Amino acid sequence: MTTSHIICPLALQARYRPHAPAVVGPACTWTFADLEAHIRTAQHALQQDAQLQGASIGLLPRRDVQTLAWLWAGWRERRRVVLVSRRWTPDERADALQMAGVATCLADDDDALPAAAPVAVHPRSRRAEDASVQARSCASTLQLQGDATVIFTSGSTGQPKGVVHAWRSHFYSARGAASVMPLRSTDCWALSLPLYHIGGLAIVMRAALAGAAVALLNNPVRDWTTRRITHGSLVATQLKRLLEATDGPPPPWLRGLLVGGGPVPAGLLDEAHARGWPVHTTYGSTEMGSQVTTTPPGASRETLATAGHVLPHRELAVRDTGELAVRGPTRCRAYLTPTGRTQSFDADGWLGTGDVGHLDAEGRLHITGRVDHQFISGGENIQPETVERALQALPQVARAVVVPVPDEEFGARPVAFVEPAPGTAFAPGCYRTGLQGRLARFKHPDRYLLWPDDLPNRMKIDRAALRNRAQQACD
Ligand SMILES: O=C(O)CCC(=O)c1ccccc1C(=O)O
């Protein structure tokens, strides 16, 4: 097999644009020459330090220049960099690292892992590179094939699994992203997502390939409006905060805000669009190296309601069940699970996403729900999320969840739990009228039930529990 290498894009920048900004911090800026020196120091440690040997190296990332240096150093030294979340407990981190075959994890504190863990902690912060390190020969190429990163996702099952990407996934992800959000070397992308998430890591790749800077900020809202940040990646909640903390149009230098990681509420899109904020909606996944589809610059409000079109270097297919499947050069290589390395792809390389959706006549992706939530009623597929969205668009509804209950005639019928909007009473008749003309008749819930107030107030609603309750109520 031929192994393909590419020159590390940061090494190129360090050679040809050494004084250009690479990392913009809250207090200072590092040039590409500075960043290169940090990377070489880290590469030197990876070559020399007995504790840092082995094919995989763990990293508990922070948003700082050392973390960026370790990432690039690991890749240049052909290591697999295993990123673990700062939000996890020490035990959870140790389990994940062990699953990925890591012997040593780069972290700041000795208590980053449990004392008894079979994974060692190595100090992440290294300072003062000396001249001898600089002179030493360090690889400045990247291998496109071969494992480059492991990022953990909890998926829909709750059991964390490691998603293994080759460097080529990240490379093609960034390349394709540039088709809708072209970056210039004078641009600066704010690193507003953690680096143990694909959305954070993807920022590093996009900026590196374009020779643009990455901004490490403390106070997103303030920094966004006072620094010359041209691009950002946000989840809907961050966009909401940004719009609340500002008035009117965006700063004139802001060119693109990628908003992903889940659906964006319609009201939020209305406001961003009306105020002229350069929002791009997107659909992606850890498995696909971040974006699969994205809306173009200057998209209409109607287009922003979709997830946009498929980017280069990705393929998307809609299965007979309505489930979306993905493949292409940005797709992950494998999953790491407690029982070993698995490939959940079919014979043609397609990976089922668990999401249900369709492409419209203009090639824009509409996500309508999760495959494991949908049910068949009288031979027709119903996606609870579609009914929920229609209900939540009514002013009298704060929150709605739709579940199927068994039905003799139709197999299953939808039942809705509704939390009335503040100051309104629970009013099934009003919801029924409200849905008229907005939703196909067969999707209208047969019954409305009041939102149970003893339901745990978790981020993710327990649909199985609601299903049981609905069934009891209908018996
Ligand atoms: O949904 C996912 O798991 C990926 C989400 C993601 O990567 C993302 C999340 C927020 C903003 C931008 C991006 C992105 O695709 O780069």
**pTM, 2 dp:** 0.90
Per-residue pLDDT, 136: 65
Instruction: Report the chain's terminal Cα–Cα distance, integer Å.
Output: 63
Which atom, in ligand 1's list, is nearest to the CA of 177? 16
127 and 49 both lie in a single domain: yes
- Given pLDDT bands bounded at 50, 70 and 90, which one contains residue 457? low
- Look-up of token digits 């009623």: 377
Q: What confidence tier does 224 reach under pLDDT thresholds 50, 70, 90?
A: confident
| Position 291, amino acid | Q
Q: Note whether 225 and 359 are same-domain residues.
A: yes
Tell me, in angstroms, the distance from the centre of ligand 1 to residue 140's CA: 28
Residues contacting residue 330 through CB under 8 Å, at least 6 positions apart: 169, 172, 173, 176, 288, 289, 292, 313, 314
**339 and 208 part of one domain:** yes
Query: What 3 state SS string does 250-316 have?
Result: CCCCCCEEEEECCCCCHHHHHHHHHCCCCEEEEEEEHHHCEEEEECCCCCCHHHHCCCCEECCCCEE
CB 148 within 8 A of CB 83: no
From the number of C-beta atoms within 10 Å of its C-beta (0-12, 13-18, 19+), residue 274 rates as exposed
The verdict on residue 111 lying in a domain is yes
Q: Could you report the per-residue pLDDT of 91-137, keeping only the tens digit for each?
A: 999 999 999 999 999 999 877 899 888 999 998 886 545 545 555 67
Predicted pLDDT of residue 428? 95
Phi-psi label, residue 433: left if phi above 0, alpha if psi -120 to 50, beta otherwise = alpha
Confidence of residue 475 (pLDDT cuts 50, 70, 90): confident
Q: Does residue 414 contact residue 377 with C-beta atoms inside 8 Å?
A: yes
Helices 32-48/9-16 angle, 10° precision = 130
Q: What is the pLDDT of residue 194?
A: 94
- Shared domain for 57 and 72, answered yes or no, is yes
Residues lining ligand 1, Cβ inside 6 A: 198-199, 202, 233-235, 258-261, 282, 284-286, 290-291
**What pLDDT, on a 0 to 100 scale, did the predictor assign at position 387?**
93
Q: How many domains does the chain have?
A: 3
Token output for 276: 């002229």
Q: How much distance in Å is there from the Cα of 285 to the middle of ligand 1? A: 7
Q: Are residues 325 and 342 in the same domain?
A: yes
Question: Closest by alpha carbon to 216, among 202, 203, 235?
Answer: 203
Mean pLDDT rounded to a whole number for the chain? 92
Residue 136 structural domain: 5-143
pLDDT at 460 over 80: no
- 175 in a structural domain: no
pLDDT, one tens digit per residue, over 240-250 is: 999 999 999 99
Longest CA–CA separation in the chain, Å: 80
pLDDT at 1: 64
Q: What Rg, from alpha-carbon coordinates, does the chain have?
A: 24
State residue 379's pLDDT score. Answer: 86
Out of 180, 279, 291, 295, give the residue to mutate to test ligand 1, the one with the largest number of ligand atoms within 8 Å of its CB: 291
Q: What is the CATH number of the domain that holds 260?
A: 3.40.50.12780
Domain boundary among 143, 168, 183: 143
Which of 169, 173, 242, 282 maximizes ligand 1 atoms within 8 Å of its Cβ, making it the mutation to test the pocket?
Answer: 282
Among 315, 349, 370, give the residue marking a domain's end.
370
Would you call 182 helix, strand, or coil by DSSP?
A: coil
Residue 339, Cβ density class (10 Å: 0-12 exposed, 13-18 middle, ≥19 buried): exposed
Pair (228, 363) in one structural domain: yes
pLDDT tens digits for range 146-196: 999 999 997 555 678 999 999 999 999 999 999 999 999 999 999 999 999
Taking CA atoms only, the protein residue closest to ligand 1 atom 3 is 285
Given a cut of 90, is residue 78 above it in pLDDT? yes
Residue 194 lies in a domain: no
Which of 370, 388, 403 terminates a domain? The answer is 370
pLDDT digits (tens, 9 = 90+) for 437-447: 899 999 999 99
Asked if 109 and 33 sit in the same domain, the reply is yes
Residue 189 lies in a domain: no
Q: Is residue 279 part of a domain?
A: yes
| Structure confidence by residue, pLDDT tens digits, 464-473 | 889 999 998 8
CA of 427 to the centre of ligand 1 (A): 38
Query: How do residues 47-73 score in pLDDT, each as one tens digit?
Result: 999 999 999 999 999 999 999 999 999
Q: What is the mean pLDDT of residues 263-279?
A: 95
Residue 254 and residue 328 in one domain: yes
By CB atoms closer than 10 A (0-12, 13-18, 19+), residue 57 is buried
What is the percent of the chain where pLDDT is above 90?
76
Domain-located, residue 179: no
Q: What is the pLDDT of residue 392?
A: 92
457: domain CATH number is 3.30.300.30
CB 232 within 8 A of CB 257: yes
The residue nearest atom 5 of ligand 1, judged by CA position, is: 261
Ligand 1 atom closest to Cα of residue 286? 3
| 454 and 353 inside one domain | no
Atom number, ligand 1, closest to the C-alpha of residue 282? 15
Same domain, residue pair 437 and 344: no
281-332 pLDDT per residue, tens: 999 999 999 999 999 999 999 999 999 999 999 999 999 989 999 999 999 9
Question: Which of 135-144, 206-215, 430-439 has the highest average model confidence (pLDDT)?
Answer: 206-215
**Token pair of 67 as six digits:** 């973390």
Q: Tell me whether residue 20 is in a domain.
A: yes
**CATH number, residue 55:** 3.40.50.980
Residue 166 falls inside a structural domain: no
Same domain? 317 vs 461: no
Asked whether residue 439 falls in the same domain as residue 462, the answer is yes
pLDDT: which is higher, 126 or 205: 205
